[in-house]
């Protein structure tokens, strides 16, 4: 898809929203009823175009430092009238419009992961404010869970949770159950997503999965005592400890498992006398001379031998890179408000902007083999293009100067150091 086609789709979605904004306004009977400089469409476009600078700087840049530039307070007042669902609508609709259905051996490749978002301190926001003890000032934190298309390099779904009581497993099953994707799917997940309930939801949805096992803890299963293997097993779950089920668990404890009442499993109710089968393929793969990993999957062995499974799991790292780009290149780490609704606006706006820029930069148009457009260096240029301040011809010429080599199989040692969070409150006006 050409950059102009991507921009046209975005413009059409925003126009569609602006034509009937009333479901997304807090007071549709009076909000945006008068002609103002900051009408509904302009506010949406400004939110989409905001970078990581202070709010005052972003507004002045939008109006090219004109003498009649609107005030920060005027912008915030207009922005407060819009529900964050308006930006979520743009995010979801753009995914549908620009979906290229890229496949690997006939399957969509998705990765699932989550990341924390540090917010400006706001003690009255009980959804995100955390105070560990009386001696600390406290801080605000959200958790963003996403599904990421590894072949198109775009986010296809997102869930925002409070860090307090967050549940990545619940976020995942909600994204699975709510998806209307009809293609064959493979979801690749790290070991934090290993659970009977997640696997069952994949099974019921008809999706395939690749999940790294927790090794020493997590799901218990019988495997050969070898460095590598590829075996099939079936785990049968029950919630009832009656005579029949206890006999089965004593006879074959590796297969029959009792689920405790407090453990989440959506396909057997707490007092239901029922058994649920989970066929699982277990693969042990060497990743170095001294390290091995265990993978759980339901992919067929004839189509996906262990070496392909290994390569597919390595592709999951792309979502980790995308979080870095989303936070620091797109500016998701730099919020321009303390209010929950406005924060949610920015999250979905920046997810959309990330997707649009990613579609442009991962395009093979006029890009030599073995190279790709540098994402970080192209963000500001692409934002000027999608906000109508740069032509496609100029965009292509400038992006051709920002090419980086593609280094297949490049690896880096994992850093064990933890960076202290820092405040972006100075960006809020």
Tell me how far apart the alpha carbons of residues 341 and 388 are, in angstroms, rounded to a whole number. 27
List strand residue ranges (DSSP E) for 77-217, in order.
108-119, 129-130, 139-149, 154-162, 185-189, 208-212
Determine, yes or no, domain membership for 410: no
Considering the domain boundaries, does residue 23 fall inside one?
yes
Please determine, for residue 414, whether its predicted confidence score (pLDDT) is greater than 50: no
- Say if 140 falls within a structural domain: no
224 falls within a domain: no
Q: Beta-carbon neighbour count of residue 325 at 10 Å?
A: 18
Q: Confirm if 351 and 158 have CB atoms less than 8 A apart.
A: yes
Rounded-to-integer distance, Cα 48 and Cα 108, Å: 28
Q: Model-level pTM?
A: 0.91
Please enumerate in sequence order all residues whose Cβ is within 8 A of that of 252, keeping only pairs 6 or more positions apart, or say none.
none
Confidence (pLDDT) at 410 = 55
What pLDDT was estimated at residue 36?
Answer: 82
Is 334 a member of any domain?
no
In a domain, 243, yes or no: no
Domain count, the chain: 1
Closest CA to 176 of 275, 125, 224, 108: 108
Residue 311 lies in a domain: no
Q: What is the pLDDT of residues 63-82, one digit of tens each?
A: 999 999 999 999 999 999 99
Percentage of residues in the chain having pLDDT higher than 90:
73
pLDDT class of 413 with cuts at 50, 70, 90: low
Whether 426 shows a pLDDT value over 70: the answer reads no
Q: pLDDT digits over 24-33, tens only?
A: 999 999 999 8
Query: Which pLDDT score, from 0 to 100, does residue 227 have?
Result: 85
Residue range 382-397: mean pLDDT, rounded: 92
Decide if pLDDT at 422 tops 60.
no
d(CA 360, CA 350): 15
Domain that holds residue 43: 3-89+340-405
pLDDT at residue 205 is higher than 70: yes
Whether residue 219 is contained in a domain is answered as: no
């Amino acid at each position: 898809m050409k950059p102009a086609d991507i921009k046209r789709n975005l413009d059409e979605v925003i126009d569609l929203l602006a034509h009937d904004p009333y479901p997304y306004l807090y007071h549709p009977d009076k909000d945006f009823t008068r002609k103002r400089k900051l009408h509904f469409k302009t506010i949406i476009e400004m939110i989409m175009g905001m970078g990581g600078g202070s709010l005052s700087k972003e507004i002045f840049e939008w109006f090219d430092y004109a003498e009649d530039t609107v005030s920060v307070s005027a912008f915030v007042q207009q922005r407060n009238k819009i529900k964050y669902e308006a930006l979520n609508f743009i995010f979801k609709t753009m995914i549908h419009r620009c979906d290229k259905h890229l496949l690997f051996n006939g399957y969509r490749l998705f990765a699932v992961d989550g990341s924390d978002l540090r917010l400006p301190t706001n003690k009255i926001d009980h959804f995100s404010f955390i105070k560990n003890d009386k001696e600390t000032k406290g801080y605000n934190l959200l958790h963003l869970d996403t599904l990421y298309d590894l072949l198109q390099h775009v986010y296809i779904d997102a869930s925002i949770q409070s860090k307090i009581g967050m549940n990545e497993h619940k976020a995942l099953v909600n994204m699975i159950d709510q998806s209307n994707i009809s293609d064959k799917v493979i979801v690749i997940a790290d070991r934090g997503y290993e659970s009977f309930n997640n696997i069952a939801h994949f099974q019921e949805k008809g999706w395939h999965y690749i999940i790294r096992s927790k090794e020493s803890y997590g799901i218990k299963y019988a495997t050969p005592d070898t460095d590598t293997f590829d075996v099939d097993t079936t785990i049968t779950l029950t919630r009832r400890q009656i005579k029949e089920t206890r006999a089965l668990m004593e006879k074959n404890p590796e297969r029959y498992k009792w689920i405790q009442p407090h453990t989440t499993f959506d396909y057997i109710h707490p007092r239901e006398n029922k058994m649920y089968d989970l066929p699982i393929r277990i693969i042990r793969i060497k990743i170095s001379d001294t390290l091995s990993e265990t993978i759980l999957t339901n992919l067929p062995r004839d189509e996906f031998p262990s070496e392909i499974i290994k390569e597919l799991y390595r592709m999951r790292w792309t979502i980790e890179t995308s979080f870095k780009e989303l936070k620091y290149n797109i500016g998701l780490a730099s919020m321009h408000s303390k209010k929950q609704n406005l924060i949610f606006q920015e999250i979905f706006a920046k997810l959309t902007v990330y997707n649009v820029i990613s579609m442009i930069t991962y395009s093979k148009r006029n890009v030599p083999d073995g190279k790709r457009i540098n994402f970080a260096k192209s963000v500001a240029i692409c934002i000027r293009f999608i906000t109508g301040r740069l032509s496609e011809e100029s965009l292509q010429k400038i992006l051709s100067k920002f090419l980086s080599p593609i280094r297949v199989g490049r690896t880096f040692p994992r850093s064990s150091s933890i960076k202290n969070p820092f405040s972006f409150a100075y960006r809020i006006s």
